Amino acid sequence: MKIDTFELERRQSLWENTVEYNLTESGIHPFTISELLDDSQVKQLLDLRLGYGQTNGSIELRESISKLYNNASLENVFTTNGSAEANFVSIWSNLKPTDELVLMLPNYMQIWGLARSFGVNVKPFHLKEDLNWQPNMDEVRNLMTPKTKMIAVCNPNNPTGSIMTKSNMEELIEIANESSAWILSDEVYRGAELDGKETTSFYGKYDKVIAVGGLSKAYSLPGLRMGWIVAPEDIAEKSWLYHDYTSISPGVLSQQISTWALEPSTRQKILSRNRKMLNENLSLFQNWLDKRKHLFDFIPQKAGAMSFVRYHFDMNSTVLTERLRKEKSLLIVAGDCFGMDNYLRLGIGSEKEYLLEGLQRLEEGLEEFVNA
């Protein structure tokens, strides 16, 4: 089996802990345990027995997750180690080498790389900047063949932060339905909308949907490694069967803390704190960009802590980000990681001072490297 390097994750894995300023994160400044839990919950954690727990996720946790979706009950929910594992299990258990997968690009490139390594024929369609990072639905329609088993989208999208319009969602469902194809919808940024209007899940809108979610992004809890699949019961069951071969179970500590994080009042507290941070940081970043309009084009994200900008100077994005890393100790994601040179993805979800200092390093780099 040949597998492509997952460029984005590889670069983060290699360098994120060695640079002084890491602006590659697509999530929002993580919570500490003491910011999240009260004393009695901490005490309960200290007394928690470290067994395996329920391997598909505790009943309480799956019930809380199911409430985030229309027409879902706990039997539709299957928990995983991060949404990365939910994507992995969904691709592994549902696609075989002769199948075709129609995939939204740009995207978190996990599904792209994974499906290709399994011998699936991956056929991309593209979000278009001139359509406000929406897809052209004719492009999707033209890719469909009798071999198309699945359409995979990332909504809200990484890296553009765009959200599919209602009419594009409806058309995608129509296209999938005509070919009886599955929709795999990675919705891990759902809940991180800047205007607070939660993105509609594909789950509950069509019977062949696998929705992927998790606590790493909108909830600022990536260290819990809590992800999930919401799908028809037989698919949730099948995921469990495959999951017995991967990590067996999410950790019991994570399951317990995740259950508390999803209690309605705590969930609201988390999402409001994050929305406030995101709006403040985005306006700060927008001010920074406004002074450099000759260098950058930017369609602000609708959700998530990543800002995807196009630049107008002549330098390859990998060369630029490597120089920034080595000479300015600043890590940002090159557009090349998404097959889109001349773009940069900046994580704006950190604390304000840190973000400002990171932008200052970028400024210095631009002055020195491109004389801008």
Ligand X SMILES: Cc1ncc(COP(=O)(O)O)c(C=O)c1O
Residues within the interface to ligand X (CB under 6 A): 26, 82-84, 87, 108, 154, 158, 186, 188, 214, 216, 222, 227
Indicate the residue among 84 and 277 with the shorter CB distance to ligand X.
Answer: 84
Could you give the C-alpha distances from 31 to 15, 113, 182, in angstroms and in order?
Answer: 22, 31, 35
Nearer to ligand X, 58 or 81 (CB): 81
Comparing CB distances to ligand X, the nearer of 182 and 219 is 219
Q: Is 144 left (phi over 0), alpha (psi -120 to 50) or beta?
A: beta
Shortest distance, position 24 Cβ to ligand X, whole Å: 10
77-81 and 226-230 beta bridge pairing? antiparallel
Which of residues 53 and 82 has its CB atom nearest to ligand X in the complex? 82
Q: Which of 267, 372, 321, 356 is nearest to 24 (CA)?
A: 321
Both tokens assigned to 257: 């803390």
How near is the Cβ of 190 to ligand X at its closest, in Å? 10
9 or 363: CB nearest ligand X? 9
Contact between residue 113 and residue 101 where contact means Cβ atoms under 8 Å apart? no
CA distance 311 to 293: 10
- Min dist CB 133 to ligand X, Å, is 14
Q: Where are the alpha helices (DSSP H) in the chain?
A: 7-15, 33-36, 39-46, 59-66, 82-94, 110-117, 137-143, 166-178, 233-243, 252-261, 264-290, 317-328, 352-369
- Identify the bridge partners of residue 308 per DSSP, sorted by sequence position: 345
Amino acid at 188: V
Closest residue to ligand X: CB criterion: 82
Closest distance between ligand X and the C-beta of residue 101, in Å? 16
Kindly tell me which of 26 and 179 has the beta carbon lying closer to ligand X.
26
Residue 47 C-beta: closest distance to ligand X, Å: 28
The minimum distance between CB 86 and ligand X, in angstroms, equals: 8
Which string of b and e fits 313-349 if b means at least 16 CB within 10 Å?
A: eeeebeebbebbbeebebbbbbbbbbebebbbbbbbb
Question: What's the sign of the alpha-carbon dihedral 10, 12, 13, 15?
Answer: positive
Give, as one character, the DSSP assignment of residue 105: E
Please, what is the minimum distance in Å from the beta carbon of residue 300 to ligand X?
Answer: 18
Residue with smaller CB distance to ligand X, 158 or 301: 158
